[in-house]
Structure 1
Amino acid sequence: MKLKFDRAISLVAAGVITALQTAHAAPVYEIQNIQDYDLNGTLESTINGYGMFVNQQDKMVGISKGKKKLEVDDETGSAIDIEEGIPPEQRVSYSINLPIIANNFTFDADGNGASGSWIPTFDSVFGTTHPKDTDADQPETINSINAYYYGINNNGVKIGSYTAPEQKTEFTGERNDNNQDQEYWYYREFEERGFLKTAEGTDIALVPPYTVYSKDDTDVVVGGVSVAAAINDNNLITGYATTDLAKSSASRIDSCIDGETYPVDVCVQNDQYPDSNSVRRIIYQTRAFVWQFDGTDVTPTELPLGLESTSDNVFTAQGLGVNSQGTVAGRSHVYRNDNKDKLAFDAAYWKKDAQGDYQYHWVKMTNDQLYSVANDINDNGILIGSYHRYIEGYPRDKFFYLDTNAEDPTFVTPNDFYNVMSDRSSRPRDINNKDQVVGDIEVTAEKELPRMKGAFLYDKASDEFNVIDDLLVCESKGYVKDDAGKWTRNQVEVVDGDGKTLYYDSEIRIVEANSINDDGTIVGTAFIRKPSYQYDEKGNLVIGENGKPLFALNANGQPVTAYLPRMVVLKPTTSGTACEVEETDNSGNGKYERKGAASFAWLLLLPLVWLRRRVQV
């Protein structure tokens, strides 16, 4: 995900968000991977890190995105120190005319890891290379496989998705001023495929049923799509896979077969890439699946669609969560109440009947809910998800839960802010077997403006809803006690390219909680504050006399700061108390005007890695 930090504004309003019910002995949390008021939360040579899932053994998986662009001093030829601020990202484009460069990398971390507690450690998938070992100037080192981890069970089996490696074929197109030196076209066999990685380190692909398009005597590898989204301790995996090509997409492949502009594989790749609106031009019929892994082989089972398909329309179903009984949570196209005028993409679950066959169950929605999704289900049969509807004239997503073991399962929308159901969008990500739910919620209330997001923790038993930032000890929010015993923002010291010493305030915000185990350990994403560098008109770093980059400064000569996402690990603590310092000035009294503005853009969006697991069709 690439966002331009093109606006620097104060975030004072971010502190005016919380009057939640914390009187029911809500747990107090500490960040575990904090280091000098910074987060060790991404792989070396990458910019962004995201925590995805944690199991009961305190082993977690995550994703790093955004390989740092290597900056070299033109005069000395030596690398430039870009660690203190926000470094530039290596640009990755979708083009059949350029080598394929990966920008997503898998890692794991362990509370008792050999290299240290909760240290992100690169974990290769199908031969991927560590981002620190790849160099754009040395093609043989370039990693072309994008890989994603989404889960790990208590047996140590990891699951996720990956892309095929780059292939190339001789360039035979017409020459022009832009391609005089082009030697090859670049393509790959598939764009996304689910996989599992055994505890011993063996990678096993989950090949979708549909990968080859056939016309007359010609077979074309289109690759298909599959994703492994969740796994239980019986090594049952759920996700989704493609079963056929959409009729409109078949026409595109026919044009590739009959066309003369590109080789067929290159033509197909060109259509597989998203267009300028990020829309895929080749689409598939997609169905929810489970795969049973027996330690050696994988047995796939297609789950029923939520409707009878008798047309060429494209219908989709996805498995997104699974409990120990094998019940699957997800979503499917469905005709609501069997009314063919009411097609919707709704939350669903699949449960085995007495004969051991999976049966589809619709999570009943009304016409007020435009669409919905179920993200997970625990061993108690409590399903969590969200629906999309208009509230006070604005489209919002709202978190719900549903007891699938009830005689007449009906979804419940919990209260959130001020013990009422607010108009703020909320989306759950995970539920443990103690009926604790984590996810994200909007924490500002502007009607006409984008809203900032924060992670939440909801306890079903007490019906208690908390923003996780309000459960942190002060040190985990970027505060330090001064000599008078008052909490103040930790001051970070950096040296500018002109040798001047500058300062900015530490700040950590938990913006996304993706997983919670039964011990209450939470992993997700936090934003940390970093100073921004200066760039010239060509987009190059401005280097000072001492060989270091110059920081962007505000009118007061202080660093302009912005936010970067980092993997975060949180554990309940009994040795501390929740920080009661309001967003005030450094003395702890009065309104806090931050020293140096902060980019608002990162707080408006959550990582796109969730689009792949929870949204992508």
Structure 2
Amino acid sequence: MKLKFDRALSLVAIGVIGALQTAYAAPVYEIQNIEDYDLNGTLESTINGYGISVNQNDQMLGISKGKKKLEVNNEDGGVIDIEDGIPPEQLVTYSVDKPILANNFTFFAEGNGWLPTFDSVFGTTPPKDTDENVPESVNSVNAYYYGINSAGVKVGAYSAPEQKVEYTGDKTGVHEDQEFWYFREFEERGFVKSAAGNDVPLIPPYTVYTKDDTNVTVGGVSVASAINENNVITGYAATDIASSSASRVDSCITGEAYPVDVCVQKDQYPDSNGYRRILYQTRAFVWQFDGSDSVVATELALPENLDTTGDRVYTAQGLGINAEGTVVGRSHINRNGDTDKFAYDAAYWMKDDTGNYQYNWVKMTNEQLSSIAYDINDNGILVGSYKQYIEGYLRDKFFYLDTNQADPALVTPNDFFNVMSDRSSRPKGINNKDQVVGYVEVSSEKEKPRIKAGFLFDKAADEFNDINDLLVCGSRGYVQDAEGKWERNKVTVIDDSGEELSYDSDIRIVEANSINDDGTIVGTAFIRKPSYQFDINGELVIGENGKPLFLLNANGQPVTSYIPRMVVLKPTSSGTACTEKDDDNSGNEDYERKGAASFAWLFALPLVWFRRRRHS
């Protein structure tokens, strides 16, 4: 196990080693969905895009989030062009007092251009065609894609559409003109979409709460996380309601302030910290899909030593699956049968000789506080991460494990410095050539958030690379001048006065989520865009000529920020990895740009898509 950290090496020395280290034969990559140093990486009328999964036929799935708010308070009250910078986002709030607006949209792209194309789930409508001022056009269904196999069968999760009931509450103050309360039948339900486009819901075993003679639809939870080539799906689903949550529903039944469905919806919505008040007993599942419209569900067992008769909430999740049907994910467990060692750990479920699934714990030490398995390939190599304090700080560390071994032990690979550093890393996918992709921290601050980058790890070569170091220069935002010298591409924008402003192109891979056997990678990149000025009410500041004003620094240059976009990368033999260095000290060293740019996005990976898969 590669677990030693050479404490004699200072961070400065480590940085030098990282800068000098070269890959033995790492592939060179080129971004495929780049156009004019920008990325075609989200749906029209949305701001943010994320690449989620790619199959062996170069077909990929993604998610767009953040519907653009195109109406601004200018003198004419019309729509203006705000495509040159980062537009404002339509505000979506969780409230039973307001209509439900969707903010997550599914898209599909493939290798004949990789242009994101809206892909409807259960009647969802494209974000460009929805207008909150035209109620009949509003899409209230949030949808998420998580996996696609080579037959084009897709899996994910979606929410129920909005329902409404007459408002009978207090009609004073902000509620003076309120006509309805708004709710959904469920917040999250798995689905499979056939190659022919049929949407099939994966209904969890538990959807209705019963108290005496009263039945209340609470909806339950289910998610389809991954699918293999045999149309076997894995994920998780609710099998019961938590006892504490049952008490909340009881209060809704006896309460008089709201109709029962509306009261339950209030508790289904997350609070300000993102936590939900209604929780479910959740188990890992597999579903066999017939390719058309039918599924057969199988619940996967918890560890044998868990006593689930009490009030504690027990959770297990299937997150990845290989051709043999082996499922990986995580589950609550009493480590080594010790009830004092209750943990949430990586696990895998493997079929025995009779075809029944058997639970297997990925053994952890007491120093490893929790763990999770994300994916497994057809060679039986499982990839995941664990949490552990390293030099006094809680970090995530990427590991792999060979499930074919009689007594498999996890291996923590070295990262950039040929040691196990204190930089957090998480894998997200592995192909059948044992190539792993994920994200890793690439800055070394102890007390500050760290910048992240997508990584590519080759198990056979034990080679770990920041994907940004494998890109050709054109895929990093550089352009070659007449003398063959590389320099940052200059982007020009026009402000309200007609003056030309410019800033440097910049493309950074911050997360890699999936890799197929040909080495095609999909994930998320940040691109640089100028920021507009906003007033104290959050409205765009419009100039005398009716155009929005850019935010400028003391030198009169646009202040830029990063926004996430889906990215597709393929190995190339027609170029070399870019060796150009900026004054930002990027790569494997601390990132301290001297220009005017906001790096807030760089410190927080766009993991919104995965939060839907990680109920605690």
Instruction: State if a TM-score over 0.5 links the two structures.
Output: yes
Match of 1:606 in 2: 605
CA contact (8 A) 2:395 2:423 kept: yes
CA contact (8 A) 2:252 2:264 kept: yes
- For the structure 1 residues 372 and 583, does the alpha-carbon distance in structure 2 shift closer, same or farther, using more than 3 Å as the test? same
Aligned partners of 1:17, 1:317: CA distance in 2, in Å? 41
Summarize the alignment of residues 52-451 of structure 1 with structure 2, pairs less than 5 Å apart. Answer: 52-72=52-72, 74-112=74-112, 117-295=113-291, 296-306=293-303, 307-308=305-306, 309-451=308-450
SS in 1 for 2:205: coil
CA shift for structure 1 position 615: 2.3
CA apart distance, 1:481: 1.2
**How has the CA–CA distance of structure 1 residues 474 and 576 changed in structure 2, closer, same or farther, with 3 Å as cutoff?**
same
| Partners of 1:136 and 1:599 in 2: CA distance | 31
* Code of the aligned partner of 1:346: D
| Identical residues among aligned pairs (%) | 73
Please give the alpha-carbon distance, in whole angstroms, between the structure 1 residues aligned to 2:224 and 2:359.
Answer: 19
The whole-number CA distance in structure 2 between the counterparts of 1:353 and 1:485 is 61
Equivalent positions of 1:391-540 (< 5 A) are 391-540=390-539
Separation in 2 of the partners of 1:16 and 1:172? 68
| Structure 2 unpaired stretches of 5+ | 1-14
TM-superposed CA distance for 1:74, in Å, is 3.5
Note the 1:539-578 alignment, pairs <5 A. 539-578=538-577
- Maintained 8 Å contact 1:436/1:460: yes
Write the letter of the residue equivalent to 1:444: S
CA distance in 1, matches of 2:615, 2:18: 32
Secondary structure of the 1:476 match is helix
Instruction: Decide whether aligned partners of structure 1 residues 18 and 532 sit closer, same or farther in structure 2, where only a CA change above 3 A counts.
Output: farther
| Separation of aligned partners in 1, 2:507 and 2:373 | 30
AA partner of residue 139 (structure 1):
P
Compared with structure 1, are the counterparts of its residues 438 and 592 closer, same or farther at alpha carbon in structure 2 (3 Å cutoff)? closer
Following superposition, the deviation at residue 234 of structure 1 comes to 0.3
Distance 1:182 1:446 in 2: 50
- Cα distance change, pair 321–49 in 1 and its aligned pair in 2 (3 A): same
CA distance in 1, matches of 2:608, 2:78: 34
Give the match for residue 40 of structure 1: 40
Q: Letter of the aligned partner of 1:49 in structure 2? A: G
Give the whole-Å Cα distance in 2 for the aligned partners of 1:390 and 1:595: 32
Distance 1:192 1:305 in 2: 22
Q: Deviations over 1:88-140 (max 9, x none)?
A: 0000000000000000000000112xxxx000000000000100001111111
Q: 2-side partners of 1:547 and 1:71: how far apart?
A: 13
Offset from partner CA, 1:427-450 (integer Å, 9 cap, x none): 000000000000000000000110
Letter of the structure 2 residue corresponding to residue 601 of structure 1: A
| Counterpart residue type for residue 63 of structure 1 | I
Q: After superposition, give the CA deviation of every residue in 1:501-553 in whole Å (9 maximum; x if it has no partner).
A: 10000000000000000000000000000000001121111112332110000
| TM-score (normalizing by structure 1) | 0.94
Q: What is the distance in 1 between the residues matched to 2:229 and 2:334?
A: 34
Structure-2 separation of matches of 1:169 and 1:346: 43
Give distance in 1, aligned partners of 2:272 and 2:239.
Answer: 27
Following the alignment from structure 2 to structure 1, what is the Cα–Cα distance between the partners of residues 42 and 516? 21
Q: Secondary structure at the match of 1:65?
A: strand
Shift of 1:73: 5.6
Look up the SS of the partner of 2:19 in the other structure. coil
Letter in 2 for 1:571: K
| Matching residue's letter, 1:205 | P
| Cα distance in structure 1, aligned partners of 2:226 and 2:20 | 32
Question: Distance between the aligned counterparts of 2:493 and 2:327, measured in 1?
Answer: 50
2-side partners of 1:264 and 1:138: how far apart?
29
1:13-37 per-position Cα deviation (integer Å, ceiling 9, x unaligned): xx99952743311000000000000
Deviations 1:318-365 (A, max 9, x none): 000000000000000011011111000000000011111100000000
3-state SS in 2 of match to 1:405: coil
**CA, structure 1 residues 21+237, in 2 after alignment: closer, same or farther (shift >3 Å)?**
farther
**Separation in 1, partners of 2:554, 2:591:** 18
Aligned to 1:6: none
Deviations 1:462-503 (A, max 9, x none): 000000000000000000112332111000000011211100
CA RMSD of aligned residues (A): 1.7
Q: 1:189 to 1:134 in 2, by over 3 A?
A: same
Tell me if structure 2 keeps the 8 A contact 1:470–1:579.
yes
Q: Give me the whole-angstrom Cα distance separating, in 2, the residues matched to 1:400 and 1:20.
A: 25
From the superposition, tell whether residues 485 and 409 of structure 1 become closer, same or farther in structure 2 (CA, over 3 Å): same
Inter-partner Cα distance in structure 2 for 1:512 and 1:592? 17
* Residues in 2 aligned to 1:613 and 1:360: alpha-carbon distance in whole angstroms: 24
Secondary structure of the residue aligned to 1:559 is coil
**Secondary structure, aligned partner of 2:245:** helix
TM superposition shift of 1:594: 5.8
Q: How far apart are the structure 2 equivalents of 1:364 and 1:72?
A: 56
Compute the displacement of 1:76 (Å).
2.7
SS at match of 2:417: helix
AA aligned opposite 1:57: N
Distance in 1 between the 2:591 and 2:386 partners?
Answer: 36
Gap change, CA 1:203 and 1:471, over 3 Å in 2: same
Aligned counterparts of 1:251 and 1:407: Cα–Cα separation in 2: 46
Deviation at 1:596, TM superposition (A): 4.4
What is the DSSP-based 3-state SS (H/G/I as helix, E as strand, rest coil) of the residue aligned with 1:19?
helix
Aligned length: 595
SS for the counterpart of 1:429 is strand
Name the counterpart of 1:3: none
AA aligned opposite 1:433: N
Deviation at 1:583, TM superposition (A): 1.7
Q: Matched residues in 2 for 1:592 and 1:119: separation? A: 31
Cα 1:592/1:186, change in 2 over 3 Å = closer
Classify the secondary structure of the residue corresponding to 1:582: coil
Alignment partners' CA distance in 1, 2:226 and 2:584: 44
State the SS of the aligned residue for 1:457.
strand
Distance 1:111 1:611 in 2: 24
Once residues 153 and 496 of structure 2 are traced to their aligned partners in structure 1, the CA distance between those partners, rounded to angstroms, is 47
Aligned residue for 2:570, secondary structure, equals strand
Instruction: Report the Cα distance in structure 2 between the residues aligned to 1:501 and 1:593, rounded to whole angstroms.
Output: 27
Distance 1:424 1:253, change over 3 A: same
TM-score (normalizing by structure 2): 0.95
The answer on whether the counterparts of 1:16 and 1:583 sit within 8 Å (CA) in structure 2 is no
**Contact 1:73–1:547 (8 Å) recurs in 2:** no
Any idea what SS the aligned residue of 2:69 has?
Answer: coil
For the 8 Å contact 1:305–1:317, the answer to whether it is kept is: yes
Q: Secondary structure at the match of 2:173?
A: coil
* Partners of 1:265 and 1:51 in 2: CA distance: 35
* Alignment CA distance shift 1:614-1:437 (3 Å): farther
Match of 1:4 in 2: none
